[in-house]
């Protein structure tokens, strides 16, 4: 059973702080890794993708991947109240289900002004 695990939170950080969101996955064959942001009552929105070990930065967001440890993280610098949402980690399988994403249950982030 392929699994993606996230701390459900809520994770509460003050405005301007760094929010750190973590995710572990069980399938060593996973090739692609994604972070989605989902505001309450809305659909998931892709914010970051990462495919190789190391860091990938995009504005205030940094995704980190460690395939040996089967660990993915998302850092949000200078957190804003508008970042308050649920963050979903997703990874692809391999072989026949290569294109299918497996989602974690999400971490709820609250940024306090």
Partner 1 sequence: NAGVTQTPKFQVLKTGQSMTLQCAQDMNHNSMYWYRQDPGMGLRLIYYSASEGTTDKGEVPNGYNVSRLNKREFSLRLESAAPSQTSVYFCASSGPTGGSGYTFGSGTRLTVV
- Between residues 25 and 36, which has the closer beta carbon with respect to partner 1? 36
Contact between 53 and partner 1 by CB under 8 A: the answer reads no
Contact between 87 and partner 1 by CB under 8 A: the answer reads no
Q: Which listed residue (83, 106, 109, 111) binds partner 1 by CB under 8 A?
A: 106
Q: Which phi and psi angles does 103 have, rounded to 5°?
A: -100, 140
- Between residues 77 and 105, which has the closer beta carbon with respect to partner 1? 105
Q: What is each CA distance from 17 to 67, 75, 96, 104, in whole angstroms?
A: 27, 10, 41, 24
The DSSP code sequence of 7-49 is ----EEEETTSPEEEEEEES-TT---EEEEEE-TTS--EEEEE
- Between residues 32 and 110, which has the closer beta carbon with respect to partner 1? 32
- Between residues 45 and 57, which has the closer beta carbon with respect to partner 1? 45
Binding site for partner 1 (CB under 8 A): 31-32, 34, 36, 42-46, 49, 51, 88, 90, 92, 98-101, 103-106
């Amino acid at each position: 059973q392929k699994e993606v695990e996230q701390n459900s939170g809520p994770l509460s950080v003050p405005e301007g702080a760094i929010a750190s969101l973590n995710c572990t996955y069980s399938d060593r064959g996973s090739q692609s890794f994604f972070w989605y942001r989902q505001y309450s009552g809305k659909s998931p929105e892709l914010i970051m993708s990462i495919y190789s070990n190391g860091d990938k930065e995009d504005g205030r967001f940094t995704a980190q991947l460690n395939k040996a440890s089967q660990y993915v993280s998302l850092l949000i610098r200078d957190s804003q109240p508008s970042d308050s949402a649920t963050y979903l980690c997703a990874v692809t399988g391999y072989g026949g289900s290569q294109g299918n994403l497996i989602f974690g249950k999400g971490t709820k982030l609250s940024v306090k002004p």
